[in-house]
């Protein structure tokens, strides 16, 4: 009975098929869709659009919160329906189209997309496609498992298509906190001073006359593909816990630390799990994505409150949490990603930010996005919003990749997303490098001795020795700086061919 | 009659010679000194300290606001008195010591130093040496031509040495606005919503019992070494004005634009001068350093108000402005650099940030600090605070350096301080590249065609062609990515040796 979920009865007549709804989207349009890390994404209208694109050759600019599930990016990419995509993605097929230069991908800090739209430096938004759990009597939208950029997309779009998802629990109502900063030059401070502050409305207030179509669906969110903790991610978590314990013992933090942020993915999830058996307590999170670990920490009595922009869970956890959402609701809030990732709030709260590095260099510059400096993986996401403005910016990575053929620590990062200015602590399963207050020549020693895998340590020591003989604040041998990446291109491995590579 | 300037009479007995005052500084101490871009720096105690260091071999960690004048950094470096220096410097002798690995230089975002001290991730501050125009009846300090990090240094230091500078006009009293964010987790929003908001006190309130010594000086601030606008910097200014006019005509901004920030140096100064003959009016600044151009814009009736952290002027301008400071005072405020550069305020106000690039690459990554990827020039300063959080991040550079032997635009930046995510507009005398909403493959074409000097355009077009054939979101030929820098190391020039270099 979907009509129960449309409080404004005049909208009942707007219910159409996905195909009919998708007809509002024309070739060349800029479309904003809900969805943040596989949660709360528009699921059926984009599929109908892809079908039409295959038939008619249509192309759009697609903006979302972050990555999508439900094979939406895959299907649209296969249908060649995307000319431009932003601000984040994580789909292998779309990734290939991006790397082939077919889709123009704009890799943005997740807090910034709506600022560019609001100031009309990008846009206009022609159509917004927003998944909702319900529409209230005023026509306002109630989002589902993510907020992402949905509120601003809906507020700015000429037309709105609502995907009313009957599988999403009505208990989600009240979970969201929709706050949109006022327009400059009259913008006021964002009044969040604690992670659990609620500052906005529980709905996205829109003019219902802009709702062009409503589609009813029963498609579930895709579940997360996070790996369970393994030996190495547990070691990484252990190093972080030890470090934070030392910070506490030095009087720099209390036993509830500061609000935690953790990026998406298996390593960050494992690191959060590491807090379960620690002696920290009364923790809070001010993060983007709430993963399994968030709820495990709550169940373990460690986590008081979590603020995020989406809930992305494994299949079992998904079933349990969404069926018992009322149990967690008083300790959760979902915010627009502009607010979850806002520099103002992150700096004020003094977040501990834990994000994953794809590679790092011996000076602590971090590449989060580009394989061998050229091929896009997913995107920078919120890592920059958090790392730059946090009290403590931690990056984690396993020291090796591809069975040891790749060292995650290289002489010079082949692409830089986070500069050495923004990286406080680097952790691998080998150990932790506390880079705070250190100069590059000090950072390199610490990173090599503490974080690099033993099979690559000698080669990096040799590189540093040769580079320092040439001088400079950040010594490099330019002819060898990218040679490790070239070795992968040429022979599939960074492993030294002779006992010492850097001769 | 310096006693007029010490309102708290019990402090009169603290007046000593610079040599005596410097005795409070011991080997191994962490010392915070006033000074931001040659303005308001401690001038005589550091000189006495250098003398002692030459004799006794003492070494300290020196923190300041930003760069110093009066040859302080030079003299301390020559005396081998510095083991560590942060967060910025601009002295050739110190630079050589840094690049030789003798002084450990910690290159920080200027807004962040005091956060690290306050949370005890760096420090403690043993001694603060602060230039003051006066000390009031309560013992509070009144800074001179800069605030920088002085307030937090003074609040945190075990001992304070005051350099009472009689050449600094008493009319400076009331110019400053000292606001220190409260400690986390009880930190409140910073209540600045317009550049002219005053939110703090006009003095630095300290416990006068911590004043260990007062030194009386009559040394003038060093004047700025900014070059007057030349043909190329005028062309850069012209491109920016044209662009902003188009933004206004597109309805994205009004004729007063948004608050302006301009980095230090000749190009940024010239760019600001470009507004004098424009049709923009009622401008405001929310910047770090107020240079000659700030006062020229005020005198021309273009600029309503300027907020900064220091005033650094040419000799003539210095005489005129400081002798007539009361004329400007109602339209000026000097803030702690933490506040002038605060992400929260910069994002809220929607600053237009104009900073100088040392080099940029074809994808819009910017190097602000490292010559040929290794040798430190000055430091990142506030450019990251502003570029990341601004509404519009503009980077300016002449397209050529060293008489044409160096192209400021290269295939791959040899060091990255500002990632492509944070660079909206790149301008050289050749033209402007509007990079907003574009993917790397689009950015490269625009930058090459609009910004690169004609003598390097073909070589970069060839590079892009070869790189794109290899694929990737950000195409590169790794074996050639740094070859332009290697050519400078090997033969002093990036100029193609054959008609086409990238074969």
Interchain proximity B99–A471, CB inside 8 Å: yes
**DSSP string for residues in A204-269:** B---GGGEEEEEEE-PPPPPP-PPPP-HHHHHHHHHHHHHHHHHHHTTSS-TT-S-EEE-SSHHHH
| Averaged pLDDT score across all residues of chain B | 96
Look at residue A109 and give its three-state secondary structure: coil
Q: Which of A388, A439, A474 sits opposite B106 (nearest CB)?
A: A439
- Taking contacts as CB-CB distances below 8 angstroms, the residues of chain A near B252 are 119-121
- Taking contacts as CB-CB distances below 8 angstroms, the residues of chain A near B193 are 186-189
pLDDT, position B498: 66
Positive or negative, the CA dihedral A411, A412, A414, A415 is positive
Look at residue A16 and give its three-state secondary structure: coil
Q: How far is CA A275 from CA A122, A307, A314, in A?
A: 41, 17, 19
Q: How far is CA A164 from CA A43, A125, A310, B390, in A?
A: 10, 21, 17, 37
Q: Which of residues 163-192 of B touch A (CB under 8 A)?
A: 181, 184-191
**Which chain B residue's Cα is nearest to A259?**
B185
pLDDT band for position A499 (50/70/90)?
low
| Among A131, A163, A288, A338, the one annotated catalytic | A288
pLDDT band for position A266 (50/70/90)?
confident
The CA distance from B119 to A378, in Å, is 34
The DSSP code for A500 is -
Q: Is B439 on the interface with A (CB under 8 A)?
A: yes
What phi and psi, each to the nearest 5 degrees, are found at residue A120?
Answer: 60, 25
> How far apart are the two ends of chain A, measured CA to CA in Å?
73
Residues in chain A: 503
Q: With 50 as the cut, is the pLDDT of residue A501 above it?
A: no
The CA distance from A155 to A181, in Å, is 12
β-pairing, B352-356 vs B260-262, is parallel
Q: Is A374 on the interface with B (CB under 8 A)?
A: yes
Helices (H), A359-453: 383-389, 440-451
The CA distance from A366 to A396, in Å, is 10
Interchain proximity B478–A373, CB inside 8 Å: yes
* Strands, E assignment, A96-210: 104-105, 127-135, 141-143, 159-165
Chosen for mutation from B91, B122, B374 (greatest number of chain A CBs closer than 10 Å) is B374
pLDDT band for position B38 (50/70/90)?
very high
* Strands, E assignment, B115-158: 127-135, 141-143
Provide mean pLDDT across the span A202-213.
Answer: 98
- What is the maximum span of chain A, computed from C-alpha positions, in angstroms? 76
Question: Is it true that the peptide bond before A280 is cis, omega within 30 degrees of 0?
Answer: no
Q: With 50 as the cut, is the pLDDT of residue A503 above it?
A: no
Q: Active-site residues of B: which are they?
A: 288
- Distance from A141 to chain B by nearest Cα, in Å? 27
* Angle in degrees, CA A350, A352, A356, rounded to 5: 140
- Taking contacts as CB-CB distances below 8 angstroms, the residues of chain A near B414 are 476, 478
The CA distance from A144 to B502, in Å, is 52
Higher-pLDDT residue of A503 and B250 is B250
The CA distance from A368 to B473, in Å, is 14
pLDDT, position A268: 87
pLDDT band for position A228 (50/70/90)?
confident
Q: Which of A98, A392, A412 sits opposite B473 (nearest CB)?
A: A98
The CA distance from A113 to A107, in Å, is 10
Query: Which residues face B217 on adjacent strands?
Result: B165
Look at residue A54 and give its three-state secondary structure: helix
The CA distance from B55 to B24, in Å, is 16
- Distance from A323 to chain B by nearest Cα, in Å? 34
pLDDT band for position A498 (50/70/90)?
low
The CA distance from B155 to B205, in Å, is 8
Higher-pLDDT residue of A122 and B323 is A122
Chosen for mutation from A365, A472, A494 (greatest number of chain B CBs closer than 10 Å) is A472
- Distance from B189 to chain A by nearest Cα, in Å? 6
% of chain B at pLDDT higher than 70: 99
Q: With 70 as the cut, is the pLDDT of residue A11 above it?
A: yes
- Going by C-beta distance under 8 Å and a sequence separation of 6 or more, which residues neighbour residue A135? A5, A6, A7, A8, A11, A141, A142, A162, A164, A208, A211, A214
CA atoms in the 13 A half-sphere facing the CB of B178: 23
Burial class (CB in 10 A: 0-12, 13-18, 19+), A500: exposed
Q: Are A275 and A241 in contact (CB under 8 A)?
A: yes
Element (H, E) at A333: strand A332-334
Q: Is B350 on the interface with A (CB under 8 A)?
A: yes
Q: How many helices (H) and strands (E) does chain B have?
A: 18, 25
Element (H, E) at B350: none
The CA distance from B423 to B92, in Å, is 28
Query: Which residues face A427 on adjacent strands?
Result: A396, A432
In 3D space, the residue among A89, A438, A64, A111 whose CA is nearest the CA of residue A261 turns out to be A111
Neighbours of A323 (CB within 10 A): 11
Look at residue B62 and give its three-state secondary structure: strand
Provide mean pLDDT across the span A345-357.
Answer: 98
Query: Which residues face B62 on adjacent strands?
Result: B31, B85
Q: Which of residues 213-272 of B touch A (CB under 8 A)?
A: 250-252, 258
Q: What Rg do the C-alpha atoms of chain B give, in angstroms?
A: 23
Question: Tens digit of pLDDT for each residue in A394-447?
Answer: 999 999 999 999 999 999 999 999 999 999 999 999 999 999 999 999 999 999
Look at residue A334 and give its three-state secondary structure: strand
Interchain proximity B185–A191, CB inside 8 Å: no
pLDDT band for position A227 (50/70/90)?
confident
Q: Is B502 on the interface with A (CB under 8 A)?
A: no
- Taking contacts as CB-CB distances below 8 angstroms, the residues of chain B near A179 are none
The CA distance from B299 to B287, in Å, is 18
Q: How far is CA B178 from CA A482, B31, B337, in A?
A: 47, 21, 10
> How far apart are the two ends of chain B, measured CA to CA in Å?
73
Interchain proximity B376–A190, CB inside 8 Å: no
Neighbours of B9 (CB within 10 A): 9
The CA distance from A345 to A391, in Å, is 12
pLDDT, position B501: 47
Helices (H), A259-409: 266-273, 292-299, 315-323, 325-328, 337-340, 343-349, 383-389
CA atoms in the 13 A half-sphere facing the CB of B226: 30
Q: Is B138 on the interface with A (CB under 8 A)?
A: no
Is the ipTM reported for this complex over the cut 0.95? yes
- Distance from B313 to chain A by nearest Cα, in Å? 29
Q: Which of A186, A421, A489 sits opposite B380 (nearest CB)?
A: A421
Positive or negative, the CA dihedral A428, A429, A432, A433 is negative
- Specify the long-range contacts of residues B329-333, CB closer than 8 Å, at least 24 apart: B329/B171, B329/B174, B329/B175, B331/B196, B331/B298, B331/B303, B331/B304, B331/B305, B331/B306, B332/B175, B332/B290, B332/B305, B332/B306, B332/B307, B332/B308, B333/B175, B333/B176, B333/B177, B333/B196, B333/B198, B333/B305, B333/B306, B333/B307, B333/B308
pLDDT, position A226: 78
Question: Tens digit of pLDDT for each residue in B435-487?
Answer: 999 999 999 999 999 999 999 999 999 999 999 999 999 999 999 999 999 99
The CA distance from B454 to B430, in Å, is 9
Interchain proximity B258–A184, CB inside 8 Å: yes
pLDDT, position B499: 54
Q: How distant is the alpha carbon of residue A364 from its chain centre?
A: 21
The CA distance from B276 to B265, in Å, is 18
Q: Is A436 on the interface with B (CB under 8 A)?
A: yes
Residues in chain B: 503
Question: Tens digit of pLDDT for each residue in B267-322?
Answer: 888 999 999 999 999 999 999 999 999 999 999 999 999 999 999 999 999 989 98
């Amino acid at each position: 009975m979907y009509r129960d979920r449309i409080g404004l009865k005049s909208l009942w007549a707007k219910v159409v098929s996905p195909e009919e709804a998708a007809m509002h989207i024309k070739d060349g349009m800029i479309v904003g869709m809900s969805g943040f890390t596989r949660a709360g994404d528009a699921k059926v209208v984009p599929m109908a659009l892809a079908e039409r694109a295959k038939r008619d050759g249509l192309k759009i600019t697609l903006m979302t919160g972050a990555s999508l599930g439900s094979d939406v990016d895959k299907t649209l990419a296969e249908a060649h329906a995307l000319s431009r995509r932003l601000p984040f993605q994580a789909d292998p097929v779309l990734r290939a189209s991006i790397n082939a230069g077919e889709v123009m991908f704009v890799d943005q800090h997740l807090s910034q997309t709506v600022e560019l739209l609001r100031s009309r430096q990008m846009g206009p938004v022609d159509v917004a496609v927003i998944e909702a759990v319900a529409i209230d009597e005023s026509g306002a939208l109630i989002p589902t498992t993510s907020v992402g950029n949905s509120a601003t997309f809906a507020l700015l779009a000429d037309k709105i298509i609502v995907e009313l998802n009957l599988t999403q629990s009505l208990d989600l109502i009240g979970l969201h906190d929709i706050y949109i900063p006022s327009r400059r030059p009259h913008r006021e401070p964002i009044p969040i001073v604690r992670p659990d502050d609620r500052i906005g409305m529980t709905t996205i207030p829109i003019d219902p006359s802009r709702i062009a179509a409503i589609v009813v669906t029963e498609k579930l969110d895709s579940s997360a593909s996070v790996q369970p903790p393994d030996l190495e991610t547990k070691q990484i978590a252990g190093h972080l816990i030890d470090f934070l314990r030392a910070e506490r013992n030095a009087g720099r933090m209390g036993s509830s630390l500061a609000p935690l942020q953790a990026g998406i993915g298996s390593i960050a999830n494992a690191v959060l799990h590491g807090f379960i058996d620690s002696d920290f307590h009364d923790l809070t999170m001010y993060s983007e994505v709430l993963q399994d670990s968030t709820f495990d920490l709550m169940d373990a009595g460690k986590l008081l409150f979590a603020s995020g922009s989406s809930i992305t869970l494994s299949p079992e956890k998904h079933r349990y949490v969404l069926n018992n959402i009322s149990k967690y609701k008083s300790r959760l809030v979902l915010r627009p990603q502009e607010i979850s990732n806002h520099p103002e709030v992150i700096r004020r709260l003094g977040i501990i930010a834990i994000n994953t590095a794809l590679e790092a260099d011996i000076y602590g510059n971090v590449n989060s996005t580009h394989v061998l400096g050229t091929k896009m993986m997913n995107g920078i996401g919120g890592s920059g919003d958090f790392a730059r403005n946090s009290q403590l910016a931690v990056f984690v990575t396993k020291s090796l990749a591809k069975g040891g053929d790749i060292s995650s620590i290289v002489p010079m990062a082949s692409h830089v997303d986070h500069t050495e200015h923004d990286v406080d602590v680097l952790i691998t399963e080998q150990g932790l490098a506390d880079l705070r207050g250190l100069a590059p020549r000090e950072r390199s020693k610490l990173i090599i001795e503490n974080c690099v895998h033993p099979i690559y340590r000698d080669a990096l020591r040799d590189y540093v020795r040769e580079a320092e003989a040439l001088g400079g604040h950040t010594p490099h041998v330019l002819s060898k700086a990218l040679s490790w990446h070239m070795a992968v291109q040429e022979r599939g491995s960074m492993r030294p061919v002779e006992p010492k590579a850097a001769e």
